[in-house]
């Protein structure tokens, strides 16, 4: 990757531009001007050939890279700009970008020494003379000796391998940076490089040491004793997870009642078809069609529920196998990359996102094995600085959580608690004092976050005024004949270090708008060191002695956007984040969280890893956690908690092939996202990669396979084509390693049984080429003519990309697991407003319709998918179509009352018997579901109510929109669901009572009005009739009240807080009622000869 070095007389520092030669050629119509006054960076020169210490140069270079903001994209250079600071305040933690050390001791130099992630000055000489990097290079060229001791710069001590500690750390990076082409061509993997972390013995997680010991090899002190290995083999296996079957006393009756109800429905439908209503055939035919569809839909929904299970984990076994007897910083737990997505700081408050990030950084997981990536799809400086403020506050919050075992680790939620739900006794005497100080720090943090919009605006206005004054001064000094008539200076958005923000500006301009800006990557928290960073004295005003203050790596990412490219909304953002994380940290497991879903249970990540690392866990593609919500009204008026779906349907699917993916709170195996197939345990000689691809000859033209392999791990040769995954060689190399890094040694084919732990692979230092490559893979052009969004990553083509992505994994044979823990693993927010809730349901239903009309229809699923799993996906695709039949059935009671007829000729014993049997079995199923799922009756009833509300409103619109997209190709756009702010006003549930008109409300309103009018008409007809038909009246009124009872929450939502119905709703209701009444009078005019009819005129 060539460099272009240019000197500027305006600046002392050099500027390096990283240019990717694989990008499309720059066109004459597109240009991205270079701003020398905005992008500057001093990178350490290549130390080869210089009589100095290359290790120090590499470490200083990493600090420069992690303190720089990288930008680039299509038709533009990749630039790195060294930031003095990300926010107005100084960095408060040595891992923060821009953190500086001591002042240079060279006279007349005001430079600052770079520090490492532990806060120690990076000094080139063992004498400890403080010298900055610029002066150091000057001394190398001029004198070559240290100013402090007068001796030539000394090498650091080396170990027995002949490499310094840092050089050994750099070995992986050098391999990736320089020799990946060779290894890609020959398919040879160096297992010592992949799986040996050091020459130290620290337990069973070092795969190479364990394997060699078991094979009987001996030697240096880095090997396990043979006797110890034999004891390990004889040690009884203890599983990390257990499957708990539902009690037979509940499950067997549940299945029996399901069978009885199915038989009853079949007999009832046969009886209905054989007994038509001759007096009202139109009423009978409509009702029988609806009832047949309802029975069909119920069977599809009920059958996948017949095999529910529960699961539990054993965290003590996980700790014993992966962390026991390991030195600090040597945990064998696999690395996890947490991907957080946000798009609009206006609808997703930055304070909410910041609290989510803080909960992730404070999670109870090895700090060196955790990385957090934040995707800002809007490219807003507000989000960038909010994340920087969160990184700064994390230096106080995270050690406080570790010191006192705080839960939940979202500061907003924690400080709002009235009691500790985790029942943890605070034994430390200084807990109350620390809590008060941290609370004060958090209050100041919230003030800074909330003041960011005004702060950014004032800063930008001030700098813009200075630029305008300079431009005006220059214009006045220009000769009159050369002066331009109009001086126009774009109103830029300025960062804290007095440079232009490369993303979206507050006043959008070309190259700086929401859909048109460069890609951005900023490492906000540097990767932690290998050893814990314990303080020996108080940290500020809080005593953090003997507390590890290291923080996980935090990276801000904003993918490139250009007007001529399709960006695929959230799915595209997640794929860009997936590729960037693969380049920079490549954790074998990926946790996906929305910006408003935070880590409520700090040990949730360990819970998920238990399933992945257990025996047989390598066939699990993802672990789905239930969504739990805060801020929902106590009665859960609109079924926002979705308890029935998560605790009934998802738990039932867990007994089949696994739950569906629901968009957040999901721990993925990275290789499953890459489109690989899972391993099959029937063939134990087949390793991971040999089962990842279909065993047939590869078609060179179609390239339907990503690759194949032969033999075992030593002979693995996975052919990953650039036309499939893109032309990033580092990304291809990371995909190769991801499969090894996510394995548990208990399932490894080349390690004898009894070995515990996971393969240990060292993470390289961050290099400018690595970050520049990450910029490339988030460019808008990168996915062109690749399989991203088709078979790789999050799948495109549906507004519910989550369901499609999970379907693709199940279709390839992967299993998934439902992990419901107490306390809840994650918590988020849900829209409690009726209008927002209806639009949310509309988006879900529209996605289901899109899936039904796409190649992801469950009818086209492969044989690798479980049959009942196919039924579940098929049911998920057709449920919106029930709206046609549901709306029709809701009008049938009214039509019955208007006409004086009923859906049956006469309400006889047979009809009542079937009705009673069907209703009784439905009630019995509900009771049994409540028992084995541990939900309550109110939650079940709310779900039933909103099923009808959504079915008569949003689902109908979703079907129409899906048909328009399928037939006419009209794209569907949805507004981002607004997230409530954490700053509560006087009423916590104020949004519940806000009435915002939407056309989705029209069908339910019409149903309510028509049924109320029909009840009045039915009573009038019956009372004034000479031969009253009470049976028809009772039947019609009963079903009308059934409809109205389900729509009661909808009516309350229209009433608002004070019970007043909006004027527009009243007008619509009156208008529709008048129109229907006139139509009825026209179709069935009253008879003048019948004085007891409906004619009330004299």
The residues annotated with a catalytic role in the active site are 377, 802
Alpha carbons 875 and 593: distance in angstroms, whole number = 26
Bridge partners (DSSP) of residue 121 are 115
Alpha carbons 314 and 498: distance in angstroms, whole number = 52
∠ at Cα 754 (750, 758), nearest 5°?
65
Alpha carbons 568 and 581: distance in angstroms, whole number = 19
3-state SS string over 391-446?
HHHHHHHHHHHHHHCCCCCCHHHHHCCCCCCCCCCCCCCCHHHHHHHHHHHHHHHH
Q: Where on the phi/psi map is residue 546: left (φ > 0), alpha (ψ -120 to 50), or beta?
A: left
Q: Exposed/middle/buried for 278, CB within 10 Å: 0-12, 13-18, 19+?
A: exposed
- Residue 1013 CB neighbours (<10 A): 18
Q: Are 381 and 556 in contact (CB under 8 A)?
A: no
Kind and range of the H or E run holding 523? strand 519-525
Work out whether strand 516-517 and strand 15-18 pair parallel, antiparallel, or are unpaired.
Answer: unpaired
- Residue 729 CB neighbours (<10 A): 17
Alpha carbons 851 and 842: distance in angstroms, whole number = 14
What radius of gyration, in Å, describes the C-alpha atoms of the chain? 33
Q: Which two tokens stand for residue 704?
A: 């339907």
Alpha carbons 849 and 800: distance in angstroms, whole number = 10
Cα 311 to chain centroid, rounded: 23
* Widest Cα–Cα separation across the chain: 124
| Main-chain phi, psi angles of 56, to 5 degrees | -65, -40
Kind and range of the H or E run holding 1061? none
Q: Locate tokens 């490549």: which residue?
A: 586
- Name the packing angle between helices 1048-1055 and 1002-1024 (round to 10°): 110
Q: Locate tokens 């109205």: which residue?
A: 1044
- Residue 1064 CB neighbours (<10 A): 11
Of 540, 622, 633, 968, which Cα lies nearest the Cα of 819?
622
Q: Are 738 and 189 in contact (CB under 8 A)?
A: no
- Name the packing angle between helices 801-811 and 569-584 (round to 10°): 60
Work out whether strand 519-525 and strand 112-114 pair parallel, antiparallel, or are unpaired.
Answer: unpaired
Q: Are 818 and 311 in contact (CB under 8 A)?
A: yes
The SS3 assignment for 1060 reads coil
Q: Which two tokens stand for residue 926?
A: 């509900």
Alpha carbons 908 and 893: distance in angstroms, whole number = 18
DSSP assignments along 449-518, one per residue: HHHHHHHHHHHHHHHHHHHHHHHHHHHHHS-GGG--S--------B-TTSSB-SSB-SS-BTTEETTEE-
Of 23, 20, 31, which Cα lies nearest the Cα of 780?
23
Q: Which two tokens stand for residue 128?
A: 């400890």
Alpha carbons 410 and 358: distance in angstroms, whole number = 6
| DSSP label at residue 535 | B
């Amino acid at each position: 990757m060539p460099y272009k070095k240019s000197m500027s007389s305006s600046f002392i520092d050099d500027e390096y531009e990283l240019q990717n030669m694989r990008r499309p050629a720059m066109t004459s119509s597109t240009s991205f001007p270079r701003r020398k006054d905005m992008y500057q960076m001093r990178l350490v020169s290549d130390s080869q050939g210089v009589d100095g210490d290359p290790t120090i140069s590499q470490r200083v270079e990493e600090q420069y890279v992690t303190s720089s903001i990288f930008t680039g994209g299509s038709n533009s250079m990749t630039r790195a700009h060294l930031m003095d600071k990300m926010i107005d305040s100084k960095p408060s933690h040595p891992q923060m970008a821009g953190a500086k050390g001591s002042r240079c001791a060279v006279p007349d130099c005001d430079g600052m020494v770079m520090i490492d992630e532990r806060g120690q000055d990076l000094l080139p000489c063992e004498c400890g003379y403080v010298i900055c990097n610029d002066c150091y290079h000057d001394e190398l060229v001029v004198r070559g000796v240290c100013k402090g001791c007068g001796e030539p710069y000394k090498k650091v001590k080396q170990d027995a391998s002949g490499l310094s500690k840092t050089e050994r750390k750099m070995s992986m990076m050098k391999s990736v940076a320089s020799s990946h082409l060779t290894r890609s061509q020959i398919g040879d993997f160096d297992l010592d490089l992949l799986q040996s972390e050091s020459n130290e013995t620290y337990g069973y997680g070092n795969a190479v040491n364990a394997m060699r010991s078991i094979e009987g090899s001996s030697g240096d002190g880095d090997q396990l004793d043979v006797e110890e290995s034999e004891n390990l083999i004889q040690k009884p296996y203890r599983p990390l997870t257990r499957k708990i079957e539902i009690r037979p006393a509940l499950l067997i009756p549940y299945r029996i009642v399901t069978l009885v109800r199915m038989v009853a429905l079949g007999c009832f439908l046969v009886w209905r078809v054989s007994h038509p209503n001759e007096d009202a055939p139109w009423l009978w035919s409509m009702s029988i069609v609806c009832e047949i569809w309802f029975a069909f839909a119920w069977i599809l929904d009920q059958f996948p529920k017949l095999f529910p299970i529960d699961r539990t984990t054993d965290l003590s076994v996980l700790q014993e196998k992966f962390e026991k007897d390991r030195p600090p910083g040597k945990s064998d737990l696999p690395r996890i990359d947490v991907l957080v997505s946000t798009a609009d700081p206006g609808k997703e408050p930055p304070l909410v996102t910041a609290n989510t990030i803080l909960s992730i950084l404070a999670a109870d997981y090895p700090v060196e094995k955790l990385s957090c990536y934040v995707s800002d799809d809007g490219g807003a400086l507000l989000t960038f600085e909010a994340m920087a403020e969160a990184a700064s506050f994390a230096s106080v919050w995270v050690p406080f959580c570790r010191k006192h075992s705080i839960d939940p680790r979202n500061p907003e939620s924690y400080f709002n608690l009235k009691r500790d739900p985790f029942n943890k006794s605070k034994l430390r005497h200084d807990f109350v004092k620390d809590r008060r100080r941290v609370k004060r720090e958090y209050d100041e943090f919230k003030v800074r976050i909330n003041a960011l919009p005004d702060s950014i605006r004032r800063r930008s206005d001030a700098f813009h005024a200075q630029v305008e004054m300079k431009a005006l001064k220059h214009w006045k000094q220009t000769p009159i004949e050369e002066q331009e008539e109009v001086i126009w200076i774009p109103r830029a958005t300025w960062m804290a270090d007095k440079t232009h923000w490369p993303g979206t500006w507050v006043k959008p301009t070309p190259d700086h708008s929401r859909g048109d800006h460069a890609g951005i990557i900023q490492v906000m928290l540097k990767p932690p060191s290998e050893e814990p960073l314990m303080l020996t004295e108080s940290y500020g005003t809080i005593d953090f002695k003997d507390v590890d203050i290291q923080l996980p790596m935090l990276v801000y990412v904003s993918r490139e956007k250009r007007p001529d490219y399709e960006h695929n909304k959230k799915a595209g953002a997640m794929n860009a984040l997936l590729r960037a994380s693969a380049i920079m940290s490549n954790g074998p497991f990926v946790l996906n969280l929305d910006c408003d879903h935070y880590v409520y249970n700090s040990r949730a990540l360990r819970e998920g890893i238990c399933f992945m690392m257990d025996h047989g866990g390598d066939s699990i593609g993802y672990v789905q956690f239930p969504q739990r919500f805060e801020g929902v009204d106590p009665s859960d008026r609109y079924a926002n908690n979705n308890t029935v779906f998560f605790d009934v349907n998802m738990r039932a699917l867990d007994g089949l092939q696994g739950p569906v993916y629901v968009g957040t709170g999901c721990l993925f195996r990275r290789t499953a996202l890459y489109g690989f197939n899972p391993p099959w345990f029937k063939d134990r000689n087949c390793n991971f990669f040999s089962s990842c691809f279909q065993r047939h000859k590869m078609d060179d033209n179609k390239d339907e396979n990503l690759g194949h392999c032969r033999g075992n791990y030593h002979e693995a040769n996975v052919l990953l084509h650039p036309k499939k995954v893109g032309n990033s060689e580092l990304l291809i190399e990371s995909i190769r390693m991801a499969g090894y890094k996510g394995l548990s040694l208990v399932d490894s084919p080349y390690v004898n049984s009894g070995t515990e732990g996971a393969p240990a692979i060292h993470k390289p230092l961050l290099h400018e080429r690595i970050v520049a490559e990450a910029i490339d893979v988030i460019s808008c052009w990168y996915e062109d003519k690749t399989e991203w969004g088709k078979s790789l990553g999050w799948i495109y083509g549906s507004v519910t990309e989550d369901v499609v992505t999970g379907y693709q994994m199940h279709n390839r044979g992967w299993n998934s697991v439902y992990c419901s823990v107490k306390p809840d693993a994650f918590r988020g927010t849900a829209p409690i407003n009726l209008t927002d809730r209806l639009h949310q349901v509309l988006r879900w239903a529209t996605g289901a319709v899109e899936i039904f009309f796409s190649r992801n229809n469950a009818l086209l699923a492969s044989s690798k998918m479980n049959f009942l799993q196919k039924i579940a996906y098929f049911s998920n695709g057709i449920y919106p179509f029930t709206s046609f039949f549901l709306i029709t059935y809701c009008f049938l009671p009214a039509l019955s009352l208007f006409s004086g007829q009923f859906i049956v000729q006469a309400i006889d014993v047979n009809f009542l018997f079937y009705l009673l049997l069907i209703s009784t079995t439905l009630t019995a199923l509900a009771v049994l579901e409540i028992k084995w799922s541990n939900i309550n009756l109110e939650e079940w009833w709310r779900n039933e109510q909103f099923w009808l509300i959504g079915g008569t409103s949003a689902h109908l619109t979703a079907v129409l929109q899906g048909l328009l997209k399928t037939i006419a190709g009209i794209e569907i756009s949805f507004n981002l669901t607004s997230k409530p702010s954490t700053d509560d006003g006087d009423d916590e549930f104020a949004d519940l009572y806000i009435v915002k008109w939407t056309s989705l409300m029209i069908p339910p309103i019409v149903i309510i009005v028509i049924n109320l009018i029909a009840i009045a008409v039915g009573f009038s007809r019956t009372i004034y009739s000479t031969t009253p038909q009470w049976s028809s009246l009772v039947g019609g009124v009963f079903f009308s009240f059934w409809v109205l009872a389900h729509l009661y929450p909808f009516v309350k939502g229209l009433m608002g807080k004070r019970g007043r119905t909006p004027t527009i709703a009243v007008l619509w209701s009156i208008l529709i009622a008048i129109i229907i009444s006139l139509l009825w009078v026209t179709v069935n005019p009253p008879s003048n000869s019948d004085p007891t009819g409906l004619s009330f005129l004299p």
